[in-house]
Every structure is written in structure tokens, then in C-alpha cells.
């Protein structure tokens, strides 16, 4: 228990709201921030930044979502901030500008580099496909060690509140890599609903993202991370959960069982 304020950006998102809930359970004063959150914070409106950061001693930082190079914004946000920063980054080179900006600016920092989240199937990008019974992706039979957002939240809370994580970069993955087809089959089994996995070409996937409003540069980066999966470049397991928490990460089967309890 402490009276030090913790600011959680993306406080309504898949990791942010889990972090807020854990911190509140532990008795920490927390500001859950986003454009529509309890505390207003909008990357596109720097006028909202100072009040959100006022009196804050630890910050969960999620970079501006539609920016391929957020160096300038992070630099500006952290100017004069003397607290601890935990950055949600991602596996892959494309996210290094945000990491460098945090390492250069923050006095104390921890970087979290997760793989694709399991919760994308229930709370985000792939959820409409699960609902509609058909998921079309350009990943072929490539495998990804999906990380559970619950594990990211556990690591983030440790880094925000405990000592020993300063200067650490935690590569976070689940314990085994599975293909999108296998993931979809496991969900279909748990929901009792048929869901088809279809392969589409990378260029078509990118066009779909643009159709959903993603800027071209970001659509290219996201498509490239799926190409990494297709080519088998992202199937390796990382030990960040074990290093940060001293325990193994949750499996995709754990996530499926928790999300779609047996009928
Ligand atoms: N999803 C994955 O598989 C995955 C994998 C690795 C890394 N990541 C990283 O995780 C981060 C979050 O991505 P996500 O897709 O998982 O989204 P998310 O955290 O589930 O949702 C995005 C959050 O950001 C807030 N937000 C959106 N636009 C904002 C803005 N202009 N200013 C301030 N807050 C804003 C949203 O709330 P409001 O709408 O209320 O603003 C929401 O709380 C990204 O940096 C991404 O690179 C994601």
C-alpha cells in the first residue's frame, strides 16, 4: 500500500484494464487513462497530458496507437517526468523507436516485449471472425507463442510496484507456439461452434486493415509481423514471464478454458 499515484495509459484496453484492476486490489491509487477513460489522456491532444501526469510516480506507457515512430511524442511526454516508466512494446524491430525513446528519457524503465496476445481472439482484431465462424489471415501454418494478457498484467504490476525490474527488457511469450489454425480449432472446440481458418495473401490482409482505418505505415508493420509468423520467424519461446515473476506463463489452453468455460 502506498499513496504514490500510478498512471496507466490505455487503461481501458486489454492489458491496461487488467493492470488497473490488479493495482486497485493491492490498494494503490491508480489513474486509468485513455480518450474515454476515467482520466482523460489523448495522444492527439497534448493539452490532456500534464493533468494526467501530475503527481504520478509510476507510468504504464502505451505508445500512440497509430504512429509508426512515436519518438517525438514519448520524448515530449517524459520531459521533466522523474518517475518509473514501464513501456508496453512488442516483439520485433519495428517497435524499437519507442523503446529507445523510453531508455533515453526515463530515469527508471522496464520494457515489456510481448508476442501476439491470446485475447485478440476474444477482445479485439480476431473476435469478429470467431463470432462470424471464419477467420482469414496470412499466416499459413506458421506458429506463434501467444501470450496471455493476464501474464502481461502480472509482469507490468511487478515492474510498476516492486524493486528489481529497473533496466530490464522482458521478452514475453506463452509456453508453446501454435498455428492460427490450431488456435481456431481449440476455440471452436471450446465454444462448440464451427470456425473456419482461411489463408489470405499478405497484400489482401494489408488492404483490409487500411479499409478498417489503419494508416498505411502501421498496416505495413502489422502485416510484416504476421509475415514473420507465416515464415516461422516468430515461433521461438521467450522467458520473460519466468525471469520477471519466477513462474511459467499461462498456456493458450489455459486462456481458452478461462474465456469459454465448458458448456
Ligand atoms: N494486441 C496484440 O496482440 C499486441 C501484441 C504486442 C504488442 N501490442 C501492443 O499493445 C499496445 C496496445 O494495443 P492493443 O491493440 O492491445 O490495444 P488495447 O490496449 O486493447 O486498446 C488500446 C487502448 O489505448 C487507448 N487509446 C486508443 N487511442 C488512444 C489515443 N489516441 N490516446 C490515448 N489513448 C488511446 C484506448 O482507449 P480509448 O479508446 O478510450 O482511448 C485503449 O485503452 C500497442 O502498443 C501494441 O503495439 C499488442
| 125 within 8 A of 107, measured Cβ to Cβ | no
How far does the centroid of ligand 1 lie from the alpha carbon of residue 13, in Å? 6
Q: Which residues of 201-230 are buried (b: 16+ CB within 10 A; e: fewer)?
A: ebeebbeebeeeebeeebbbbbbebbbbbb
Q: What does the pLDDT read at residue 69?
A: 82
Helix 71-78, helix 96-105: angle, nearest 10:
20
Task: Tell me the C-alpha distance between 201 and 227, whole Å.
Answer: 10
Q: What does the pLDDT read at residue 4?
A: 83
Question: For a substitution probing ligand 1, which of 9, 10, 148 has the most ligand atoms within 8 Å of its CB?
Answer: 10
Question: For a substitution probing ligand 1, which of 9, 35, 73, 213 has the most ligand atoms within 8 Å of its CB?
Answer: 35
- Residue range 49-74: average pLDDT? 92
Q: Using a 6 Å cutoff on CB, does residue 44 contact ligand 1?
A: yes
Q: Using a 6 Å cutoff on CB, does residue 116 contact ligand 1?
A: yes
Task: Tell me the C-alpha distance between 14 and 154, whole Å.
Answer: 13
Residue 195's domain comprises 5-259
Query: Residue 1 pLDDT more than 80?
Result: no
| 121 within 8 A of 148, measured Cβ to Cβ | no
Give residue-wise pLDDT tens across range 185-243. 999 999 999 999 999 999 999 999 999 888 898 899 889 999 999 999 999 999 999 99
Q: Using a 6 Å cutoff on CB, does residue 40 contact ligand 1?
A: no
Q: Which residues of 76-114 are buried (b: 16+ CB within 10 A; e: fewer)?
A: ebbeebebbbbbbbbbeebbebbbebbeebbebbbbbbb
| 70 within 8 A of 18, measured Cβ to Cβ | no
Query: Residue 95 pLDDT more than 90?
Result: no
Percent of the chain whose pLDDT exceeds 70: 98
- Residue range 113-139: average pLDDT? 95
Q: Using a 6 Å cutoff on CB, does residue 75 contact ligand 1?
A: no
Query: Residue 132 pLDDT more than 50?
Result: yes
The CATH number of whichever domain residue 230 belongs to comes to 3.40.50.720
Task: Tell me the C-alpha distance between 249 and 24, whole Å.
Answer: 23
- Residue range 165-169: average pLDDT? 98
**What total number of domains does the chain contain?**
1
How far does the centroid of ligand 1 lie from the alpha carbon of residue 34, in Å? 9
Amino acid at each position: 500500500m502506498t499513496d504514490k499515484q500510478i498512471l496507466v495509459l490505455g487503461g481501458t484496453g486489454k492489458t491496461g484494464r487488467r493492470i488497473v484492476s490488479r493495482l486497485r486490489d493491492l490498494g494503490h491509487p491508480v489513474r486509468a487513462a485513455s480518450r474515454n477513460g476515467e482520466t482523460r489522456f489523448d495522444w492527439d491532444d497534448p493539452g490532456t497530458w500534464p493533468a494526467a501526469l501530475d503527481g504520478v510516480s509510476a507510468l504504464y506507457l502505451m505508445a500512440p496507437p497509430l504512429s509508426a515512430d512515436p519518438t517525438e511524442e514519448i520524448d515530449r511526454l517524459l520531459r521533466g517526468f522523474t518517475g518509473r516508466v514501464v513501456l508496453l512494446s512488442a516483439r520485433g524491430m519495428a517497435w524499437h523507436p519507442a523503446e529507445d525513446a523510453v531508455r533515453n528519457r526515463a530515469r527508471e524503465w522496464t520494457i515489456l516485449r510481448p508476442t501476439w496476445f491470446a485475447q485478440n481472439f476474444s477482445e479485439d482484431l480476431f473476435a469478429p471472425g470467431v463470432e462470424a465462424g471464419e477467420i482469414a489471415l496470412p499466416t499459413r501454418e506458421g506458429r506463434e507463442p501467444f501470450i496471455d494478457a493476464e501474464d502481461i498484467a502480472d509482469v507490468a504490476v511487478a515492474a510498476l510496484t516492486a524493486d528489481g525490474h529497473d533496466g530490464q527488457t522482458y521478452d514475453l511469450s506463452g509456453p508453446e507456439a501454435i498455428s492460427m489454425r490450431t488456435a481456431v480449432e481449440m476455440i471452436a472446440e471450446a465454444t462448440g461452434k464451427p470456425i473456419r481458418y482461411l489463408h489470405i495473401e499478405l497484400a489482401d490482409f494489408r488492404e483490409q486493415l487500411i479499409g478498417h482505418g489503419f494508416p498505411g505505415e502501421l498496416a505495413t508493420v502489422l502485416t510484416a509481423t504476421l509475415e514473420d509468423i507465416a515464415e516461422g520467424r516468430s515461433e521461438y519461446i521467450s522467458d520473460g514471464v519466468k525471469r520477471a515473476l519466477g513462474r511459467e506463463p499461462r498456456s493458450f489452453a489455459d486462456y481458452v478454458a478461462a474465456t469459454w468455460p465448458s458448456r
